[in-house]
Amino acid sequence: MIKKNYPTPSNRSCIDKFLVMDIFARSSKIETYGKKVFHFELGEPLKRTPLRVIKKTKEILNQNLPGYTPSNGIFELRSAISGYYKKKNNVNIDPDDIFVTVGSSSAFLLTFITCFDPGDTVLIFSPCYPAYRNMLKSLNINVLEIPFNDLNKIGNYKKKIKGIIVSSPNNPTGKILKEEELKFIYNFCEIEKIFLISDEIYHGIEFSDKSTSISKFGKRGIVINSFSKYFCMPGWRLGWVIVPKSLQDNFTKLAQNLFISSGNVAQFAAVEVFNCLDDLDKTVEIYKKNRDIVFEYLENSSWNEFTRSEGAFYTFIKIPNSKKSSNSIVKKILEETSIALTPGNDFDKAGGHRFIRLSFSSKTEDLNKGMNILKNWINKNY
């Protein structure tokens, strides 16, 4: 009998790995041997979910909650998010324009399917969060990638593109776009009838100037946010998206069929987090202190060319005069020092092999110890 080969995976499933998760898997394996690992690779906030949220969750678990919720989320949470925009951005957002999602990942997926057909082209600015590129590719949507510094040249591509994704504060550089830059992009997209998707996941984590929400300029932008970063609720798998009225019917039908709803306990608990903004801002102060510590160590090393993060909790470090890719360097550092970093290949396909992302969202004590080890390794090897 001739054994037939098993059917092969779809072409659209052949996307790039999310390299940071590979590094995390390697570092976690090292920890199983009882060795201390310095996790500077993960985009995860400090383990500081506000105590009021934890307490509220325990109360909720003792209640007889309904199972599924409306596909756009419970009204209490959508109303709380609306109030947050009024307080923080002085912007009025109709709670009915807000859709609660299973993390920001499902917000992006629902947005991409709602806005684009296979063969359409979306412009992204590199370096950027790699899931944009990978998710779009899995949907057979083309990606046009241009340098972050060339955003004023988007007019050159207006006939090619159907959408633009912008992120501020940026992962991995920590750059915050100025209000006039965002307004320029918003106006361009409005005039040219191009979808604008604004990734605002790191809003609230800023160290000087505050981030501007694209919602400030009008109702045509699609705004995506998450409870995973500023709100210190990673793993609760909860995000939201502000959807223009003209897209809401399609967005709703997709949400109903693909996800049904977000977790009920997480939604009811998240309402409480908006009463914890002072505590969350104290966590941001820790990130700022950590950032300054990282800057000082790097300035005293031969890896002294890096992004001066204005927000988020990352810096993007340029590797000087190296013939090796950042992927191999990151593996070597992990093996020799137990410090986990993320290769820049994840964020920039053209030049990322010359960069490494470092996350400074660790405990300050661990950050100090790890950065001292890293500085000594750098100065020994470069």
Domain with CATH 3.90.1150.10 in the chain: 11-48+278-381
The structural architecture, per CATH, of the domain 51-275 is 3-Layer(aba) Sandwich (3.40)
Indicate whether 1 pLDDT > 60: no
Q: Which helix (H) or strand (E) holds 350?
A: none
Q: Which residue has the tokens 């992006």?
A: 108
Indicate whether 5 pLDDT > 80: no
Residues 92-114 have pLDDT tens digits of 999 999 999 999 999 999 999 99
Indicate whether 4 pLDDT > 80: no
Which distant-in-sequence residues (6+ apart) come within 8 Å of 291 by Cβ? Answer: 207, 309, 313, 315, 360
Residues 269-321 have pLDDT tens digits of 999 999 999 999 999 999 999 999 999 999 999 999 999 999 999 999 999 98
Reduced to 3 states (helix: H, G, I; strand: E, B; else coil), residue 30 is: helix
Indicate whether 86 pLDDT > 70: yes
Q: Is 321 left (phi over 0), alpha (psi -120 to 50) or beta?
A: left
Please list the residues that pair with 197 across neighbouring strands: 165, 222
* Predicted TM-score (pTM) above 0.85: yes
Average pLDDT, the chain: 94
**Could you give the CA distance from residue 53 to residue 92 in angstroms, rounded to a whole number?**
25
**Could you give the CA distance from residue 248 to residue 98 in angstroms, rounded to a whole number?**
10
Compute, in degrees rounded to 10, the torsion defined by CA atoms 128, 130, 132, 135. Answer: 170
Q: Which helix (H) or strand (E) holds 84?
A: helix 75-89
**Could you give the CA distance from residue 115 to residue 111 in angstroms, rounded to a whole number?**
6
Residues 14-42 have pLDDT tens digits of 888 877 888 888 888 888 888 899 999 98
Structure tokens at 63: 């209640």
Which distant-in-sequence residues (6+ apart) come within 8 Å of 375 by Cβ? Answer: 297, 298, 300, 301
Model confidence band, residue 260 (pLDDT cutoffs 50, 70, 90): very high
Domain with CATH 3.40.640.10 in the chain: 51-275
Indicate whether 3 pLDDT > 80: no
**Could you give the CA distance from residue 220 to residue 250 in angstroms, rounded to a whole number?**
16
Quote the Cα angle for 174-178-179, to 5°. Answer: 135
Q: Which amino acid is at 179?
A: E
Question: Which class in CATH covers the domain with range 11-48+278-381?
Answer: alpha beta
Contact of 71 with 260, CB cutoff 8 Å:
yes
Indicate whether 87 pLDDT > 90: yes
- Phi, psi (degrees; rounded to nearest 5) at 259: -130, -15
Q: Which residue has the tokens 């988020």?
A: 312
pLDDT of residue 20: 81
Residues 197-249 have pLDDT tens digits of 999 999 999 999 999 999 999 999 999 999 999 999 999 999 999 999 999 99
Q: Which residue has the tokens 């950590």?
A: 290
The edge-to-edge listing of strands for the beta sheet with 314-318 is 314-318, 355-359, 342-343
Contact of 305 with 339, CB cutoff 8 Å:
no
